[in-house]
Amino acid sequence: MPDTLNPALAPPANDALPLQTRSELRFLTCGSVDDGKSTLIGRLISDTSGLLDDQIAALRDDSRRFGTTEDEFDFALLLDGLEAEREQGITIDVAYRFFATPRRAFVVADTPGHQQYTRNMATGASNAELAILLVDARRGLVEQTRRHAAIVALLGIRHIVLAVNKIDLVDYAEARFREIEAAFAAFAAPLAFHSIVAIPLSARRGDNVAVRSARTPWYAGPALLTHLETVETGLDAAEAPLRFPVQWVNRPDGDFRGFAGTVATGSVAVGDAIVVAGSGRTSKVARIVSFDGDLPAVSAGRSVTLTLADEVDLVRGDVIADPRRRPAVSRRFAADLVWMDETEAIAGHRFLLKIGTATVPATVSRVVDTLDVESLRRAPADRLGLNSIGRVEIETAQPVAFDSYADNRETGAFILIDRSTLRTAGAGMVTEGLDAARDVHRHAETVTPATRAGLKGQAALVVWLTGLPGSGKSTIANIVESRLSALGRQTMLLDGDNLRQGLNADLGFDTASRSENVRRVGEVAKLMADAGLIVIVALVSPFQADRTRAAALLPEGRFLEIHVDAPAELCRQRDPKGLYARADAGKLVNLTGGDQRYEPPEEPALVVSTGELSADQAADQVVSLVLASCST
Amino acid sequence: MCPPAAARAAENFSPSLDTARSSGLSPHLQRLEDEAIHILREVVAEYRKPVMLYSVGKDSSVMLHLARKAFYPASPPFPLLHIASGWDFQALIQHRDRIAAAYGLELLVHSNEQAARAGVNPFDTETGEYSRLMLTEVLKDALDLHRFDAAFGGGRRDEEKARAKERIFSLRASGHVWDPRNQRPELWRLFNTRLSPGDTMRVFPLSNWTELDVWTYIQAEAIPIVPLYLAAERWVVERDGALIAVDDERMRFLDGEKTVKRRIRFRTLGCWPLTGAIASEATDVRGVIAELLDARSSERQGRLVDAASQASMERKKREGYF
């Protein structure tokens, strides 16, 4: 096609090019304000001839207008990008810079050393394979050096260059360099870096930047640029097990059904056995499709389209994985969280969580501690403020596939999105799954929930009656079940009080126990719905978050949240179980509608006001809704 | 490009893991290609109605090529949008129509005909105001008219300082305004694609490409480009140190200006009266790359629009230009 359009522009595709073997390295630079970071980047760009005549002219002009150095170029001005920042003389964001040698192309994430440093550094580090930590040879390691090292370690960077800058200002003294090198090695020992290369250099004068300097004859290591050109960083992703998050299902016609995505880690070849992490379905790779023709095998980083040998139901968010080394699939995990939002992170806060290509509702169920990035000590905490880092527990509405971040930077990373502002509020790194049955992998079922419901001639449903004690839930639930049974529907009633005699006999009534009570009832209701039944639940379930979590277990539209609403005073008068009376007498605490609050449903499918309706009338309304929802 | 490093690389080069790929691209270009394809697919998966801004330039040509790859064997599932100022190079319009027809793509073309009738033109109208009226406002109107919620642009971070901090997913509030202080951090490949009502997203799949990357990719993939990028004898006038090609009879000559024939090419293609050419002998892409490897001026220098003021790009971005 192209050659017919433009014959002069279509050389043979196999024509050898210069730069044919050029690889790529993405790295991060960090250091505190006066360590000379921008000067170093400017020097690297300049020494690789990336600095062009008109940029130099603009730089001269800028240096006169904004510059902090007389006469000399202010390399930092080359890097600052936005007007507001230039006028304030500060860099407040991450800027990306580019330079290249014939051997490698470099993408530099330049992050500031002061304000918002945690957020910006985490952002820059997340896509970097190596970090350059700058220290001023005169000042040695400072608090910021330690913080920066801790953050890049947490973000999974395994290769460090300790750039001991301004070595000219300490008269190229080897002793000073060795002292800093040793101090850093001692501090960094617990951070598990794979390589730490310390280099004495002067960004301003160019010593040991592009070429080794004659002024440091005692230094036997490589110049910075040489090290950057040769360091190998890409091994982890290639050796990890296959993870292929499905990004988009490609169905141009009835015949082709491909799963487009990027190989996150590992490799995949035609004929390989695979498993869909969430469902446990297995198949084999039939084709690896690309615009340039089918490929026999691809490895981490490649964006391709897979087709499978079997008809497997796959959607965006699913993860195709190595069946022998599967990711965890769970709704609960612990993680280190970098908090980036003005609003603090506290337990119970709900977000959207994006991991791989899946986006699901999630809750920070617990804040465990915060990390002091300077001492590397953890202190118990119940909240995370802007730019702090801590351990949290996360619970997602649906199960997601993940690995620990230490094992896999691709499938162990997630972001939290604030549901109202839609800001990216936090960046998380999974530390471990929290399910006790961690190594249990879902077994794909041959008979599906739809089959079971179909045999019963109905669509399965969970009808969830929530309301204050004494509002009439149990009474209505009983009438509803009788009517549905009379109509030949197959049902099951789960009454909160009855379940507390058995399944939930170990639980009390404090907030945590109530959540667990609702969680268990939700799971049981889900199982019974999977069995094809119409499940009627009568449960106080006072908290919206708990009910939302239960709803999320069912497919869209299969969970009817019904608010059995009666004025608190009326419930108190009815008091069928004498609970209010006992609470008033001080013999009962944690009573919903008493000392414990009740959160009415935010978006109920139905509200039945039992202050105005009789139990029979209320049941009629519920039955009508159920019949409308459960016919097949 | 880097004499000392070049010498070293030739001496002690040994094949490393990341060169052992099956594709004909270098590991570097392969990574850029894979990353761009990932971004393109992410947008199609997450947005209701995306569009690709197609300027017909070299970056757009690369972006379109990547889109054909990303969705293969399907066609790119979005239309192309070209903002024509009315002062576009003739060869560019011809190339645009040939490409759209050859690839079977839906092409939308929008222009500010009202402003053109009112006499707005690149000779009389102040340059900043001209580009706002003929490009920025038209773009915003077109995005609103079709209710596109995401628009791909070919912008690269290496082009200009204001772009170095640009996100790959760049959020625009209603009115398409860009607030540099209200951009979301981008971590890993986990792009936050969510939009509040009235917001739209600009997405730049070539964010991490450099001008050299674009040209070496065009060469490696044999991507068709507008012939104006290659050197040929063309009629020009010299004005304020720039070579302005005379593309049609509407050229307005200043006193003493003479049309001369020069062997020139263009590094970028804007409105022809505002786009400077460079003297060049590069008649094929390989030649362009060779010239680029020892180039001494960055590509946007040819655009008079940018030179108008310090940080003019940032100002244009705030107004809703890419």
Say whether residue B296 is in contact with chain A using an 8 A CB cutoff: yes
B134 dihedral zone (left: phi>0; alpha: psi -120 to 50; beta): alpha
Q: Which residues of B are less than 8 Å from A5 in CB distance?
A: 98-99, 102, 224
Query: To probe the interface with B, which of A43, A354, A417, A421 has the most B CB atoms within 10 Å?
Result: A354
Rounded to whole angstroms, how far apart are CA atoms A57 and A250? 49
pLDDT at A338 over 90: yes
Residue A72 is given by DSSP the state: S
pLDDT at B50 over 90: yes
Say whether residue B318 is in contact with chain A using an 8 A CB cutoff: no
When the pLDDT of each residue in chain A is averaged and rounded to a whole number, the result is: 85
At A58 the pLDDT is: 58
Predicted confidence (pLDDT) per residue in B4-30, tens digit: 333 333 333 333 333 333 358 999 999
Are B190 and B136 in a shared domain?
Answer: yes
Are B99 and B153 in a shared domain?
Answer: yes
Predicted confidence (pLDDT) per residue in A366-394, tens digit: 899 998 877 778 888 889 998 899 999 99
Inter-chain touch A24–B73, beta carbons under 8 Å:
no
Please give, one letter per residue, the 3-state secondary structure of chain B: CCHHHHHHHHHCCCCCHHHCCCCCCCHHHHHHHHHHHHHHHHHHHHCCCEEEECCCCHHHHHHHHHHHHHCCCCCCCCCEEEECCCCCCHHHHHHHHHHHHHHCCCEEEECCHHHHHCCCCCCCCCHHHHHHHHHHHHHHHHHHHHCCCEEECCCCCCCCHHHHCCCCEEEECCCCCCCCCCCCCCECCECCCCCCCCCEEEECCCCCCCHHHHHHHHHHHCCCCCHHHCCEEEEEEEECCEEEECCCCCCCCCCCCCCEEEEEECCCCCCHHHEEEEECCCCCHHHHHHHHHCCCCCHHHHEHHHHCCCCHHHHHHHHCCC
- Domain with B63, as residue range(s), is 25-213
B9 in any annotated domain: no
Q: Is A541 a catalytic residue?
A: yes
Chain A's closest residue to B192, CA to CA, is A424
What residues does each domain of chain A span? 23-233, 237-321, 332-433, 449-630
Q: Which residues of A are less than 8 Å from B189 in CB distance?
A: 262, 410
Q: What's the token pair of residue A174?
A: 């080897």
At residue A490, the 3 state secondary structure works out as: coil
**Which among B24, B68, B188 has the least Cβ separation from residue A291?**
B68
A410 contacts A264 by C-beta, under 8 angstroms: yes
At A72 the pLDDT is: 47
CATH topology of domain A23-233: Rossmann fold (3.40.50)
* Whole-number Cα distances in Å, B53 to A35, A110, B113, B245, B257: 41, 29, 19, 25, 36
Number of domains into which chain B is organized: 2
A540 contacts A507 by C-beta, under 8 angstroms: no
Inter-chain touch B1–A262, beta carbons under 8 Å:
no
Are B57 and B206 in a shared domain?
Answer: yes
At A73 the pLDDT is: 53
Inter-chain touch A413–B73, beta carbons under 8 Å:
no
Catalytic residue among A202, A330, A515, A541: A541
Residue A9 is given by DSSP the state: G
Are B229 and B188 in a shared domain?
Answer: no
Q: What's the token pair of residue A102?
A: 């014939």
Are B206 and B280 in a shared domain?
Answer: no
B44 contacts B73 by C-beta, under 8 angstroms: no
Predicted confidence (pLDDT) per residue in A175-186, tens digit: 999 999 999 999
Are B153 and B191 in a shared domain?
Answer: yes
A613 forms bridges with which residues in the sheet? Answer: none
At B118 the pLDDT is: 87
pLDDT at B77 over 80: yes
Residue A298's Cβ-side half-sphere holds a number of Cα atoms within 13 Å equal to 26
Please give, one letter per residue, the 3-state secondary structure of A246-306: EEEEECCCCCCCEEEEECCECEEECCCEEEECCCCCEEEEEEEECCCCCCCEEECCCEEEE
pLDDT at B304 over 50: no
Predicted confidence (pLDDT) per residue in A468-513, tens digit: 888 899 999 999 999 999 888 999 999 988 888 888 888 888 878 8
B187 contacts A413 by C-beta, under 8 angstroms: yes
A299 contacts A234 by C-beta, under 8 angstroms: no
At A436 the pLDDT is: 62
Count of A-B CB contacts under 8 Å: 262
Query: To probe the interface with B, which of A45, A103, A341 has the most B CB atoms within 10 Å?
Result: A103
**Which among A82, A251, A252 has the least Cβ separation from residue B165?**
A82
Residue A396: CB atoms within 10 A of its CB come to 24
Same fold for the pair A23-233 and A237-321: no
B320 in any annotated domain: no
Say whether residue B196 is in contact with chain A using an 8 A CB cutoff: yes
B56 in any annotated domain: yes
Predicted confidence (pLDDT) per residue in A243-253, tens digit: 999 999 999 98
A135 contacts A203 by C-beta, under 8 angstroms: no
ipTM of predicted complex: 0.85
Are B33 and B163 in a shared domain?
Answer: yes
Inter-chain touch A83–B185, beta carbons under 8 Å:
no
Rounded to whole angstroms, how far apart are CA atoms A450 and A473? 29
Tokens 């988009």, located at residue: A248
Nearest to A371 by CA among A387, A385, A391: A391
Predicted confidence (pLDDT) per residue in A601-616, tens digit: 988 999 998 888 888 9
Q: What percent of chain A has pLDDT over 90?
A: 49
Can you point out the beta strands (E) in A467-514?
491-495
Are B56 and B179 in a shared domain?
Answer: yes
Predicted confidence (pLDDT) per residue in B270-288, tens digit: 888 888 888 889 999 998 9
For chain A, the C-alpha Rg in angstroms (whole number) is 31
User: CATH class for domain A449-630?
Assistant: alpha beta
Range A249-254 contact pairs with CB under 8 angstroms and sequence separation of 24 or more: A249/A314, A249/A315, A249/A316, A250/A305, A250/B71, A250/B73, A250/B74, A251/B74, A252/B73, A252/B74, A252/B75
Q: What's the token pair of residue A188?
A: 């960094």
At A110 the pLDDT is: 84
Are B201 and B248 in a shared domain?
Answer: no
Are B93 and B182 in a shared domain?
Answer: yes
At B317 the pLDDT is: 55
Predicted confidence (pLDDT) per residue in A60-73, tens digit: 555 555 544 444 45
Rounded to whole angstroms, how far apart are CA atoms A452 and A450? 5
Mean pLDDT within A594-598: 80
B19 in any annotated domain: no
A382 contacts A392 by C-beta, under 8 angstroms: no
Rounded to whole angstroms, how far apart are CA atoms A544 and A598? 9
Say whether residue B188 is in contact with chain A using an 8 A CB cutoff: yes
B265 forms bridges with which residues in the sheet? Answer: B278
Predicted confidence (pLDDT) per residue in A547-591, tens digit: 988 888 888 888 999 999 988 888 888 888 788 888 887 777 777
CATH 2.40.128.90 fits A237-321, yes or no: no
The CATH number that applies at residue B51 is: 3.40.50.620
pLDDT-derived band at A284 (thresholds 50, 70, 90) equals very high
Are B193 and B230 in a shared domain?
Answer: no
Min Cα–Cα distance to chain B from A514, Å: 33
Are B208 and B230 in a shared domain?
Answer: no
A351 forms bridges with which residues in the sheet? Answer: A362, A418
A124 contacts A116 by C-beta, under 8 angstroms: no
- Please state at what angle helix A143-154 crosses helix A117-126, rounded to 10 degrees: 40
Those residues whose C-beta lies under 8 Å from the C-beta of residue B69, and which sit 6 or more positions away, are A290, A291, A292, B33, B37
CATH topology of domain A332-433: Elongation Factor Tu (Ef-tu); domain 3 (2.40.30)
Rounded to whole angstroms, how far apart are CA atoms A564 and A618? 9
**Domain ends where: B184, B213, B242?**
B213
**Which among B22, B187, B286 has the least Cβ separation from residue A427?**
B187
Rounded to whole angstroms, how far apart are CA atoms B59 and B212? 11
Rounded to whole angstroms, how far apart are CA atoms A120 and A128? 13
Nearest to A402 by CA among B190, B53, B267: B190
Say whether residue B284 is in contact with chain A using an 8 A CB cutoff: yes
Residue A277: CB atoms within 10 A of its CB come to 28
Nearest to B161 by CA among B311, B315, B316: B311
Inter-chain touch B190–A415, beta carbons under 8 Å:
yes
B10 in any annotated domain: no
**Which among A79, A93, A98 has the least Cβ separation from residue B158?**
A98
Q: What percent of chain A has pLDDT over 70?
A: 87
**Domain ends where: B213, B243, B271?**
B213
Nearest to B151 by CA among B32, B224, B66, B48: B48
**Domain ends where: B213, B231, B254?**
B213
Rounded to whole angstroms, how far apart are CA atoms A305 and B40? 14
For chain B, the C-alpha Rg in angstroms (whole number) is 20
